[in-house]
Structure 1
Amino acid sequence: MKTIADYHIHSTYSRRNHGKSTIEEIVERAVELNLKEIAITDHGPKHYLYGIEEERIPEAKEKVLQMRKKYPQIKILLGVEANILSYDGATDISANVIKHCDIILCGYHMGALFSSAKDALKFLVKNKLSTNMADANAMALANAMKKYNINILTHPGDKIPCNIDIVAKTAEETETILEINNSHGHLNVEEIKIASKYNVKFVINSDSHIKDTIGSYENGLKAAMDAKLDLDRIINLK
């Protein structure tokens, strides 16, 4: 069993050197690994620390188009890892993102410019002080999945508590793929068990920030196997 695709890779199009490898370095490494498909998915523009600048998205797409011509043996997608910005499910999936991106990932990140002071207070402070935020956090993710055409929900359960039952039920309704993140440990074993009760697909992504970790999947695969997940439900394993 091995991975044939990696849909969560950060590049030097990130702000502040968050991604350490260029798109071409990423593609070269993916070709070495015999991957069939990759996606370059830097944080969305509203991540004030690490997000791709809005005006650079067309430039990144042009670079991907160049790489497709140079490396026809691999399918190369441009995407973003968009940010949850409010409890009503707002994100930074802009018209510009939709126009230029082939795939949309989305997840919760603490470095985002939240839609309001109230949302920021709840995400950043109330989650630290209260033990009763899992349902509200899950509804924020669910609302985003209902509002936008999100292909993959990244690392649900990471950074803030989350009711995975609510998330997975909505993922089934919206046909959103749930990520088992090889770097962050979410979905974890117990979360996979809960999510697998619903008719959802899964993907193991590396969440790579440097070319050396592209295609990494061992931690995610172990979690899936420990959860006794039918591995046929993981879209990028063969």
Structure 2
Amino acid sequence: MYYADYHVHTSFSSDCSEKMENQIKTAIKLGLKEIALTDHVDYDYPDTNFPFMINYDEYMKEFNKLKEKYKNKINIILGVEIGFQPHIVNQIENFLIKYPFDFVICSMHVCDKLDLYNGDFFKGKEQKNAYLRYFECVLNNVNNFLNYDVYGHIDYINRYGNYNNKILSYEDYKDIIDAILNAIIKSDKGIEINTSGYRYGLGHTNPQLPILKRYKELGGKIITIGSDSHRSQDVCAYFDKAYSILKEAGFSEITVFKNRKPSFIKI
């Protein structure tokens, strides 16, 4: 039995059609103690077909209704996945103080104002240069933004880009990845282990095992497990692999959050 899934989307996210209640019911069937609903908020997202903005007045009505309805069966965590870009930091800060979030994921879906998903970011870039520029942007983010709890799918850049292979080796980028991990640890923040890499055919979690090992070696303690589910059948998908990888990396605990404060659960 798993304790919690800390990265779950609902139909309030522009790229998801699964009802909030379906995600919660699935988590209950799986025996989870907690589920963190972390819908997308991406200000100034370049693809107008995916605005990634939420009417939080409506969101909170649904969230509070379901939290009360299922309070004796599961703890429902109010989370959010912030799509970070440096020029929208004030909008993000103003947004985060308006609602009582328990948990905030900081992710980067747009780099240099160019979309990763549709491939704009990769145009005219060789693979190694594209990956390096992505990590440079992540490093800038964690050095200049602190209002988050875990950084999302740090090395998922290899999910995208029309290259011949999807290989991203820690050794090829170890200096900048180490700088990112050190900045996260110094700021008392954490990372997630995101299992969606298996669904996307990468054959690994994000981050990969070598990065997880390095995070532990550098003193990293805060780590959540998330499926990045956009469908109810993907809640807790590949968590067996994630737990095994965490143990191999040297972790004996996972992290959960309440009121933006971490606590630790033995695995």
TM tier, shorter chain? Answer: 0.7 to 0.9
Matched, 1:45 2:42: yes
- Deviations for 1:21-69, whole angstroms, at most 9, x for unmatched residues? 1111111111111211111111113244545424x12211221111111
**Number of the residue aligned with 1:68:** 67
Matched residue SS, 1:218: helix
- Distance in 1, Cα, partners of 2:27 & 2:115: 39
1:103 is matched with 103
Deviation at 1:168, TM superposition (A): 1.4
* TM-score normalized with structure 1 length: 0.80
Quick check: 1:25 aligned with 2:33? no
| Whole-Å separation in 2 of the counterparts to 1:91 and 1:109 | 18
**Match of 1:223?**
245
Could you give the per-residue CA deviations for residues 107-126 of structure 1, whole angstroms, max 9, x where no partner exists?
1114xxx6xxxx23698248
Are residues 63 and 120 of structure 1, via their aligned partners in 2, closer, same or farther at CA, if it must alter by over 3 Å? same
Q: CA deviation at 1:138?
A: 3.6
The answer to whether residue 187 in structure 2 is matched with residue 174 in structure 1 is: yes
Residues 81/127 of structure 1: CA separation in 2 closer, same or farther (3 Å cut): farther
1:234 is paired with a residue whose SS is strand
Whole-angstrom distance in 1 between the partners of 2:266 and 2:229: 17
Cα pair distance change 1:121/1:33, threshold 3 Å: closer
What's the counterpart of residue 163 of structure 2?
none
Between the aligned residues of both structures, percent identity stands at 23
Greater share of strand: 2
- Normalised by the length of structure 2, the TM-score is 0.72
Amino acid at match of 2:4: A
Say if 1:170 and 1:51 are closer, same or farther in 2 by CA, change over 3 A: farther
Aligned-pair CA distance for 1:89: 8.8
Q: Is the CA contact (8 Å cut-off) linking 1:42 and 1:80 kept in structure 2?
A: yes
CA-to-aligned-CA distance 1:52-95 (integer Å, 9 cap, x gap)? 424x1221122111111100121112222111213x89486242
**Other-structure match for 1:183:** 196
Question: Number of paired residues?
Answer: 222
Report the alpha carbon displacement of residue 194 of structure 1 after superposing the two structures with TM. 1.5
Separation in structure 2 between the aligned mates of residue 223 and residue 128 of structure 1, nearest angstrom = 32
For the residues of structure 2 that align with 1:33 and 1:92, how far apart are their CA atoms?
A: 37
What is the letter of the counterpart of residue 156 of structure 2?
D
CA displacement at 1:223 relative to structure 2? 3.1
